[in-house]
Chains A and B, each alone.
Chain A
């Protein structure tokens, strides 16, 4: 309130004062005391930024699942410029950057650039790739200022869709068009980054729209000497969205996007003839787009349905295997309450995806083109038990997928939650989940290395190849996941949650050595050892199968503490232990590829009405499988809002060291680079 008085006095001082005094949006962002709101004028109140989901926020404290939400305010104040970098604040999520454009992201272990146990969705559209499994994060350089929130749920039980949500799901939700009205321009320039975003939103009748474009040019982490690894990353992205409130109870959303980019990579190529193994720098071309229609019908507070239809195309060329994938997906889900105390949700979905690939000696798929069909459904009932505030949730996912021989996969879950008080929730859950084999696990032929003749590794006169082969009979991996958790708000300014989990995996992918095979005749040594004398090369095959069992357990803690109105702290700690049997640890998709301990601590300080200083410290333990050392790093952001319409941020990332290694690609196809210290300036304009 004193600020307002001051402003009234200096309002006469002219334009500058007007700019400062009309910038209450950050001043009030942290004003917990609603009393102060009544001291503002109506014009000032209309400028106050509000949390539009405050009512739901109260409910999250009752969410009986290990869930974390990254809000748009977290996104803005993190200084991060990519979705994987944002995810570093989430407990139980492991993020490691492989090179300037590539990340390995997982939850509760099993990390890799093709991390296959974490499902990622954006506005209901899957980003999980079925060819290699995992997410190509380098194709997901979404404009972060248009993201409303990112919901991260660890564990398979609380998710309804998706057979690959074994360890969790990330749901990225973009802003409604009513939150992006006007014209917005963002420009970033830094030591390693040039980026621009332009967006315009408006109204046509009862519909609101936005159109946008984004340009990204990221310098590779490798030194610009023209030698070594070149990992530059350029992307162009454009799209639009319309939200149309068709009637009182019906809303329709249309959205679409196209993108194209060039991604520098260092690749290994193998040949059955000299030079046998080479590495070279090349550029992967990526392009794609999607169109999505979503219809929401709300018939009452406890009853609604939603229909989602989308088409998605992705193309990667110039690094084998070239691939194009077209996906068409229809999902329907409905919620209703047939009897008092029961809240039922069910859904049905069909997805058809066709890929077309062109491989090389190093990596190829047989057949080169294949169509995947998934029919999936789920049903869940949340039952209010006759005892106070005790809820039982039972449900199951069902899936038929021709990548797993069209067997019906049943993935049930049961969850008991107790809302001990308005500010305390306890939960316990057990769930079974599966991961459907990827295309490469079924149809892949990977000549990972060639041993030239007459070398220490191969004394024979003909070349030998180390070859990984897919297996058409491979079955889905299974997990039985147990979790207990507690979420509490012990004081108005403190929130706290903890989750403990134990996961038992069965049939984890491993590779098993088989008898050498003469090539190109494909004669096995066991059939005719004499083929050795006529072969062009000898293949040492390792075939993928379901040989590994393993278990993981751990604990995750998230905490936030508002010390003063203007200063808050947010912390996350994750502990993860992996016990894989020897087989699984050596040659599986579940090794010790994730840190045992990791810590994230953020300090968010509203220095004055128009300035913010935010710090973010992270500790990541060592990765045994990759022989990566532990590291500590620090990001800092200083923001100055010159007026409600214009602000400048200065951001430094990974400040403590000039560079550090975070990961080594598990497929060994290319070379990783070290993550660099960087700084950038960001300008944001918002016009009405």
Chain B
């Protein structure tokens, strides 16, 4: 009620949410198999993309230089005014207000891109991996139908620790 002043102790010593989320995205990637068509060449790096003003941008740079299934990770930051790249293997879609997440999802709906976003509703709207916070811990949901649709294989091991969402929103379903 007071105001929208930013509010948190900068003396807090816990691990930051974005650092944990970045590590979890990295772990999740290890359980995902992309179709060969997702890569232009066999030695092409695994591209992790996000807008440059994304709150995760800084934390995600910790992934740079690590590798998944023999492919080095390459972090690609794009400007929000540019069109969204569709040749990424992982696309992080931050939560921000209106409905850009929906537009982003539509633009990569047919591409073999592992979309990762915030809030359970992200998966219900057709995103593949939705990160959320419960009791100060990170949880994630996976939309299996959305991943199958674009040819991503997700290991059963990962599904054991995820919440499974199976809705397919109209915006994705209706496309040819």
Contacts and interface: CB of A to CB of B under 8 A. Distances in A.
Contacts of A434: none
Nearest to B2: A171
A43 B14 CA distance: 18
Given A124-B1, A159-B3, A49 B14 contact: yes
A50 B3 contact: no
Nearest to A686: B135
B1 A161 contact: yes
Given A57-B9, A71-B8, A40 B23 contact: yes
B74 interface: no
Contact of A54 (B18, B138, B139): B18
B14 A29 contact: yes
B12 interface: yes
B97 A50 contact: no
B55 interface: yes
Nearest to A171: B2
A121 B12 contact: no
Given A171-B2, A489-B10, A52 B17 contact: yes
Interface in B113-154: 121, 132-139
Nearest to A170: B2
A255 interface: no
B103 interface: no
Contact of A50 (B5, B15, B28, B99): B15
B59 A34 contact: yes
Given A151-B7, A299-B97, A71 B12 contact: yes
Q: Quick one: which of A47, A49, A54, A304 has the most chain B CB within 10 A? A: A54
Interface in A476-528: 489, 495
Nearest to A558: B11
A459 interface: no
Interface string A1-43: 0000000000000000000000001001111101101101111
B15 A37 contact: yes
Given A55-B55, A570-B11, A46 B139 contact: yes
Contacts of A153: 2
A169 B2 contact: yes
Contacts of A42: 24, 27-28, 158, 161
B99 to A, nearest CB: 6
A387 interface: no
A46 B98 contact: no
B15 A28 contact: yes
A483 B114 CA distance: 51
Q: Quick one: which of A53, A57, A245 has the most chain B CB within 10 A? A: A57
A334 B112 CA distance: 41
A245 B16 contact: no
B62 A50 contact: no
Nearest to A331: B1
A411 B62 CA distance: 48
Nearest to B19: A34
Interface in A593-609: 604
B60 to A, nearest CB: 11
A248 interface: yes
A300 B100 CA distance: 10
A29 B13 contact: yes
Nearest to A247: B121
B6 interface: yes
A345 interface: yes
Contact of B17 (A51, A70, A249, A308): A51
A59 B22 CA distance: 20
Nearest to A302: B97
A45 B13 contact: no
Contacts of B139: 46
Contacts of B161: 42-43, 46
B9 A60 contact: yes
A686 B4 CA distance: 32
Given A53-B8, A60-B8, 18 more contacts: A29-B15, A34-B16, A38-B23, A38-B62, A45-B23, A45-B27, A51-B14, A51-B136, A53-B7, A57-B8, A57-B12, A61-B10, A178-B134, A179-B133, A182-B135, A345-B3, A568-B13, A604-B13
6 smallest CB-CB distances across A and B, nearest first, come from A124-B1, A59-B6, A54-B16, A560-B11, A53-B8, A37-B23
5 contacts: A50-B136, A53-B8, A62-B6, A149-B7, A300-B98
Interface of B: 1-20, 22-24, 26-28, 55, 59, 62, 66, 96-99, 121, 132-139, 158, 161
